[in-house]
A and B are shown apart, each in its own frame.
Chain A
């Protein structure tokens, strides 16, 4: 059981480049979220999904796109990377959206935009 898998682990981009951060889970979880973690800022919610075909914005959605075509995958797209998007990105999933259910985090992707 792989849990939540994020790829790549590290990435360096130049300003203006595009890329997709991958997130996949093999637990048949309906709920998935993307967070970014900046030094001194804690984690902030970017986008989330409550099931295939359903996504919504979180606290800091600007500059990011998401889609949820399958239950397993929830990719995060940066269309034109900016230095302000340098951060560590975490994907998380859960079988239930209620607080009693455990939230499974991936190991993160460290992104640097130069």
Chain B
């Protein structure tokens, strides 16, 4: 079974600064996807970014980028130019077999962006 560990229960950052959220995972699979989901107070789950394990190039989506270290089984999320609307719970998730529906989630990191 896979495990996903987010070692930072809470983090805070000043508006416009950069913050990095950590995620490590444990698996024996070679074919998988990794995801970062954002959950604001509205409770809606919103996909932030995804990474296919076979791709060495780190994924980027506007102000969000990942540092994917496959050998170290690490998948951190960097948020640049933090905005107040980035305040949310962030979950790292592992997609077994390259799936998007059989996900194993970490416990989450609560990110607060301060004005």
* Chain A residues at the B interface, C-beta cutoff of 8 Å: 31-33, 35, 40-45, 48, 50, 58-59, 88, 90, 92, 94, 96-103, 105, 107-108
* Chain B residues at the A interface, C-beta cutoff of 8 Å: 1, 4, 32-33, 35, 42-45, 47, 50, 52, 91, 93, 95, 98-108
Q: Which residues of A sit under 8 angstroms from B44, Cβ to Cβ?
A: 105, 107
Nearest B residue (CB) for A110? B43
B101 touches A59 (CB 8 A): no
Residue from the set B35, B45, B95, B105 with the largest chain A CB neighbour count within 10 Å: B45
B107 touches A98 (CB 8 A): no
Q: Which residues of A sit under 8 angstroms from B4, Cβ to Cβ?
A: 42
A96 touches B100 (CB 8 A): yes
A10 → B minimal CB distance (Å)? 12
Determine which of B35, B98, B104, B107 lies in contact with A59 in the assembled complex, contact meaning CB atoms within 8 Å: B104
- Contact A102:B47 (CB < 8 A) given known A40-B107, A42-B108: yes
- Contact A45:B100 (CB < 8 A) given known A90-B45, A99-B95: no
Determine which of B32, B101, B106 lies in contact with A103 in the assembled complex, contact meaning CB atoms within 8 Å: B101
> Can you list the 9 inter-chain pairs with the closest CB atoms, starting with the nearest?
A99-B33, A42-B105, A105-B45, A43-B105, A42-B107, A31-B101, A99-B100, A33-B101, A99-B95
